[in-house]
Amino acid sequence: MEKYRFLLSGSGGQGVITMAILLAEAAVLHEGLIAVQSQSYGPEARGGATRSDVIISDSEILFPKVLQPNYLVAMTNEAAGKYMPLIRPGGMCIYDTDLVQPSRRIDAMLMGMPMQKAVLEKFHKTQALNICVLGALVTLTGAVKMESVEQVLKARFKPAFHEANSAALALGAELAKPFLSAN
Amino acid sequence: MSIYRLIRQRFFPHLWCPGCGHGMVLNSLLHAVDDLGIDQSQLCMVSGIGCSARISGYVDFHSMHTLHGRALAFATGLKMARPELKVFVPMGDGDATAIGGNHFIHACRRNIDMVAIVMNNRIYGMTGGQYSPLSGRQIGGDDEKSRERSVFATTAPYGSIDRAFDTVELAKGAGATFVARTTAYHVQEMRRLFKQAYEHKGFSVVEVLCQCPTYFGRKNKMGGAVQMLQWLKDNTEKLGSKKLEENPNLIARGVFVDKDEPEYCSEYENSVIAKAHKE
Amino acid sequence: MSGKICFVQGNEACVRGALYAGVRFFAGYPITPSTEIAEHLADQLPRVGGKFVQMEDELASMCAICGASLAGFKSMTATSGPGFSLKQEALGYAIMAEIPCVVVNVQRGGPSTGLPTECSQGDVMQARWGAHGDHSIIALTASSIQDAFEVTVQAFNLAETYRTPVVLLFDEVLGHMRERLEIPEAGVLPVVERLKTDVRAGVNYHPYLPREDGRLPMSDFGGVHRFNVTGLHHDIWGFPTSNDEQVVKLNYHLFDKIESHANELARWKEYYLEDAEHVLISYGSSARTARALVEDRRAKGDRLGLLELQTLWPFPAQLVQDKTANAKSIYVVEMNMGQVASQVKAVVANPDRVFLVNRMDGHLMTPSDISQVMRVVEGRGF
């Protein structure tokens, strides 16, 4: 299997790091894969730029950071501006159409979805946005199985959140589907 | 006789100067501990650095002679680990309120059951007579002439301009649940207050005003040990006494605070550990 | 090894290792990037009969673990550079009074408050010489989550064996990185319990008299033996002394009890050293980068090898000499100005062939950082 190199980025409070942990944990605990998750962040707990790297592979991962992602998630314009130039040629950029206006000059598959809007419509708040993004990401990349993510969500969160999490995950998958048939 | 079981006789005579108040504190403490009949194997003393801190070498307790100002922090770890131990923490004035000031106020706030004794002789003795946060600007007391006299120390050759802490007010403000003051002259009162402090469940502070004839006395023309003890007798008065009410220049002695508040180690047991096990 | 598998940060792996080793007391103060260690132990210790306390400052935390350790509890604290500076006073006390404890320093950029959320390995020398006066210390590192767990268990074992503080020099990347951890069943990794004295009540017990094997059996505060503990030079009873002979004896004892075991204390990993022309020496998260480069270059036929040091102090001089004996060149890969490189230079036959590869901007060293330096050294340009 080729290494999946994810760079997940946005601003503090969007749940970018949680999303990264969920993805990597699903790979390790439920698929017997090897994964490393790391992050860089500034002093702000809310706002500011957040970045988390995830590498998933079936062989040992030594260097834990992602220098050139094949999969970028950008949830703010600032993050997109900073990290899109790093995408490996032909890689994928997943972004929120209401939050990000991506550069069209970059050799990457642009996969924009109105995720925040959809989450707001469905849940009337944005807490589950990161889970929705994860649903789209997993659907588009196939890095791990959706059931693995479901299992991680169940183990990590209180039962009260299970239903909403599943719904958010499904919402992301739904938004991503048109891209699958297009390819 | 029986207080001899509480000391390490081979280290006597002690290293304190002739006339020093610290020996009196040791004496009253030993009598108090003897009166209380505490199991010696449970007795601990944790001290910091300075003349006062040497007291821990003389008692046949489990003894820890630690770092300047940090005795209370060591004692906190000791008590958290073994709340059944009986811990006394004697400190000097600089030890407790300068370098150890942060540990002191937080120990008051945390309220771990132990007895902190502030042996206040208003000077750093071991290093040779520098002013401390309890030296103050003036000698104070009832006598009009000496009241306004500047405090001198080797590091205050022109007279001290540093305002003093009031240990009792500091301890009260920081939340200590038992606060008392006495002097080296009032040895029976000291013995009684140590016992009361020990029996109080929570963090107890007893300030003992002590004489340092070698440095504070000499630098400030207070006379020898006898004159300094006389000064402590003449310039302090019991809380609630008429004399004290009528004369604001006197320093109050007695128990200022004695209240029940949750003791930290018990709270850890009853609240934190209990809840952790429920989950 | 078939233990429980989890996916955790280095800081949490450290906590799991500490619990495996039997930690029962933690005192600390919040500081990035080590705070998660305090958070997890605040949650875990009360479940296992242990105690957690958040102290008023870093100094108090170090003092409190000394107090708890003397009461018989395996104790630890965790911090980062600025806090490690503050802990040096009581760390020196623990060295002098021979109090077993573990001090974790998840290194961030320095000096001073430096780069709080970024990575560095700049505290290697501080771990060695941060406390004043002549002394010795044990300091260990790790480059993976699994190693962070195992090295933490080892740190407690060494603290108890040698009656000394042990420093765990982790770094921000390792502390915050998540990866698979397999927690071995109890009993799989050896756990050293405190050596308690068998001297009976009423019979003289000397807390500072080493046995023939060098170990010093302990008696808890609150136990049957009452003795004194002090940071002053002391005799075998623990009472202050300035007797020339006793002072010198104690100084040598504190130094020798660790330095004379440097070979046994050496912990390392090695890759392709048998025929390596160029040996990389690294530790902590930098060692991952070094290994990535070595694997990559080996695949292309280049004879590179890696020596990953897990024990930094006492410095494994013999090991470094042996493993680099046939190397044409040695590259020390670390995120500082050459703190380990200087040690390597001091012990190898040809110090002129020792080159420092470093990075100082808070970002983890990359493989190309190393290969660039190698290009220059090999005369192949920049």
Q: Could you tell me the residue ranges of all domains in chain B?
A: 2-278
Assigned domain for C204 exists: no
Assigned domain for C254 exists: no
**Looking at CA atoms only, how far is residue C181 from chain A in angstroms?**
10
Domain final position from C162, C183, C204: C183
Q: Is residue C215 scored above 80 in pLDDT?
A: yes
Per-residue pLDDT, averaged over C255-272, amounts to: 97
Question: Which residue, among C68, C57, C42, has the nearest Cα to B104 in the 3D structure?
Answer: C57
Chain B residues near residue C229 by CB distance under 8 angstroms: 63-66
Domain final position from C164, C183, C202: C183
| Element spanning B20, H or E | none
Residues 6+ apart with CB under 8 A from C134: C251, C254, C255
**Looking at CA atoms only, how far is residue C96 from chain B in angstroms?**
11
Assess whether C160 and C279 both reside in one domain. no
Q: Which CATH superfamily is domain A4-182 in?
A: Pyruvate-ferredoxin oxidoreductase, PFOR, domain III (3.40.920.10)
Supply the pLDDT for residue A48.
77
The answer to whether the bond into C111 is cis (omega within 30° of 0) is: yes
**Looking at CA atoms only, how far is residue B279 from chain C in angstroms?**
9
From CA C79, how far away is CA C90, in angstroms rounded? Answer: 14
The tens-digit pLDDT sequence of chain B (279 residues) is 589 999 999 999 999 999 999 999 999 999 999 999 999 999 999 999 999 999 999 999 999 999 999 999 999 999 999 999 999 999 999 999 999 999 999 999 999 999 999 999 999 999 999 999 999 999 999 998 889 999 999 999 999 999 999 999 999 999 999 999 999 999 999 999 999 999 999 999 999 999 999 999 999 999 999 999 999 999 999 999 999 999 999 999 999 999 999 999 999 999 999 999 987
Q: How far is CA C8 from CA B52, B199, C36, C87, in A?
A: 48, 47, 11, 27
Assigned domain for C359 exists: yes
Q: What is the CATH number of the domain that holds C123?
A: 3.40.50.970
Residue pair C61/C32 in contact (Cβ under 8 Å)? The answer is no
Quote the radius of gyration of chain A (alpha carbons, Å): 15
The answer to whether chain B touches chain C by having 3 or more C-beta pairs less than 8 angstroms apart is yes
Supply the pLDDT for residue A183.
53
- Please state which architecture CATH assigns to domain B2-278: 3-Layer(aba) Sandwich (3.40)
Domain final position from C183, C202, C224: C183
From CA C356, how far away is CA C370, in angstroms rounded? Answer: 9
| Element spanning B136, H or E | none
Helix axes B71-81, B101-110, angle to 10 degrees: 30
In 10 A of CB B141, how many CB atoms? 18
Assigned domain for C163 exists: yes
Chain C residues near residue B57 by CB distance under 8 angstroms: 228, 230, 239-240
Chain C residues near residue A64 by CB distance under 8 angstroms: 173, 177, 179, 285, 288, 364
From CA C305, how far away is CA C225, in angstroms rounded? Answer: 53
Q: What is the CATH number of the domain that holds C285?
A: 3.40.50.920
Of C49, C226, C231, the CB nearest to B66: C231
Assigned domain for C211 exists: no
Using CB atoms, list chains with 3+ pairs below 8 Å to chain A.
Answer: C
In 10 A of CB C250, how many CB atoms? 19
Residue pair B87/B198 in contact (Cβ under 8 Å)? The answer is no
Tokens 């765990």 map to which residue? C168
Query: How many domains does chain C divide into?
Result: 2
What is the end-to-end Cα distance of chain C in Å, rounded? 46
User: Max alpha carbon distance in chain B (Å)?
Assistant: 67
Assigned domain for C223 exists: no
pLDDT in tens, C102-135: 999 999 999 999 999 999 999 999 999 999 999 9
Residue pair C170/C145 in contact (Cβ under 8 Å)? The answer is no
Chain A residues near residue C291 by CB distance under 8 angstroms: 62
Tell me whether C114 touches chain A (CB under 8 Å).
no
Could you tell me the residue range of the domain that residue C80 belongs to?
Answer: 4-183
Q: Is residue C2 scored above 70 in pLDDT?
A: no
Residues B14/C238/B55/B79 CA torsion (nearest 10 deg): -170
Q: How far is CA B73 from CA B79, B93, B273, C130, C223, in A?
A: 10, 16, 22, 21, 21
Assigned domain for C96 exists: yes
Assigned domain for C250 exists: no
Interface of C with B in 4-33 (CB under 8 A): 24-25, 27
Tokens 């009032």 map to which residue? B186
Query: With bands split at pLDDT 50, 70 and 90, how would you rate the model's confidence at A41?
Result: confident
DSSP for B142-191 reads S-HHHHTPBP-BTTBTT---PPPP-HHHHHHHHT-SEEEEEESS-HHHHH
Interface of B with C in 42-101 (CB under 8 A): 42-44, 46, 56-57, 60-67, 70, 73-82, 84-85
